[in-house]
Amino acid sequence: MAYIPSSARYQSMPYKRCGNSGLLLPAISLGLWQNFGDVDDFANATAMITHAFDLGITHFDLANNYGPSPGSAETNFGKILTNELAGYRDELIISSKAGYTMWEGPYGDWGSRKYLISSLDQSLKRMGLQYVDIFYSHRYDPNTPLEETMMALDQVVRQGKALYVGISNYGPAHTQRAIDILKQLGTPLLIHQPKYSMFERTPEKGLLDVLGQNGVGCIPFSPLAQGLLTNKYLKGIPEHSRATRSVSLKPEFITDEKIAKVQKLNELAVKRGQTLAQMALAWVLRDKRVTTVLIGASSTKQIDDCVACLQNLPFSDEELKYIEVILE
């Protein structure tokens, strides 16, 4: 039976303007970093994408190397687009990135014009798209002139391969330079994607100020600290968790002190009538410079749990102060 999206999909999801642009993004966006590759269950991936869209999640975030294997998340997303969402392309914001190792040799990594444009061409082919809505430089390249990387982003917009451009994992000074270069080229920087959570506060050291002052949107990734800010780690490291696989969350990161903080944060979340994950997402969204928050998921239930954070976003001053005490 053909998929028909929920007619109520735009009724409860809030949408926020991305910086000074004309683009509105949903408060929650879905990232395909893990659980959408060729090692994963395709039926489950399809269910998560369509369920997210039913909830008003219109933004799906990919990168050339997402999988595993690298590229397979884009290939699978392309199949889901063709099979389930073919008639809804204009309701979707689809992003991709290039900047980490994708293929062998000197042209499959970092930030050269050669790599970025070749990578985007490959991404479009994998997804069966004429353009992506947002194309990112995935990380700052210290060995390529920033002008070259930004000129590549400007070029893909002028070629019609991307509507907007973004950067990810850039520090405040390089972000400001990127903003200035792109402004001169006539293709403004739409958005920045930093790692940001209660346990990763680096964007507060200047980056959020740069974004706010320049009218650039912000979409934090890893807001749940790879699952650490969920109920999963309340009693230590569970079997079959990300930490035991040591993919992106190293076991040594999960100290007794960290677990104690997680338990105290969870107590506060319970008082707020939320799960720890919901409170962690609400905490990231509390900053007006944040446009949308990027979640990962392995089931439709996890997506539901994350979206439910929107039912209780405000924090009292006392709650915010207490969170700072816990995190110190």
Q: How does pLDDT run across 236-293, given as a tens digit for each residue?
A: 766 665 555 555 566 677 888 999 999 999 999 999 999 999 999 999 999 999 999 9
Q: Residue 328: which residues within 8 A CB-CB, separation 6 or more?
A: none
Confirm whether 243 is domain-assigned: no
Confirm whether 326 is domain-assigned: no
What mean pLDDT, rounded, does the chain reach?
A: 96
Tokens for 47, please give them: 């269910």
Q: What is the pLDDT of residue 253?
A: 75
Confirm whether 45 is domain-assigned: yes
Confirm whether 236 is domain-assigned: no
d(CA 282, CA 1): 36
Share of the chain above pLDDT 70, in %: 95
Q: What is the pLDDT of residue 254?
A: 83
Give the H or E element holding residue 210: helix 207-214
Q: What secondary structure does DSSP assign to 89-122, as a single string?
A: GGG-EEEEEE-S--SSSTTSSTT-HHHHHHHHHH
**HSE (CB half, 13 Å, CA atoms) of 226?**
18
The dihedral through the CA atoms of 34, 32, 207, 282 has a sign that is: negative
Confirm whether 323 is domain-assigned: no
Confirm whether 294 is domain-assigned: yes
Q: What is the pLDDT of residue 96?
A: 99
Q: What is the pLDDT of residue 242?
A: 54
**Omega prior to 168 cis, within 30 of 0:** no
Rounded mean pLDDT, 308-316: 98
CATH number of the domain residue 182 falls in: 3.20.20.100
Which domain, by its residues, includes 195? 15-226+286-314
Confirm whether 6 is domain-assigned: no
Confirm whether 59 is domain-assigned: yes
| Cα Rg of the chain (Å, integer) | 19
- CB 53, CB 94: distance < 8 Å: no
| Beta strands 15-17 and 59-61, pairing class | unpaired
Q: How does pLDDT run across 168-184, given as a tens digit for each residue?
A: 999 999 999 999 999 99
Q: Residue 167: which residues within 8 A CB-CB, separation 6 or more?
A: 136, 137, 140, 175, 178, 189, 192, 193
Q: What is the pLDDT of residue 82?
A: 98
Per the structure, how many domains does the chain have?
Answer: 1
d(CA 138, CA 41): 26
pLDDT at 299 over 70: yes
Q: How does pLDDT run across 32-61, given as a tens digit for each residue?
A: 999 999 999 999 999 999 999 999 999 999
pTM of the entire structure?
0.95
Q: What is the pLDDT of residue 303?
A: 98
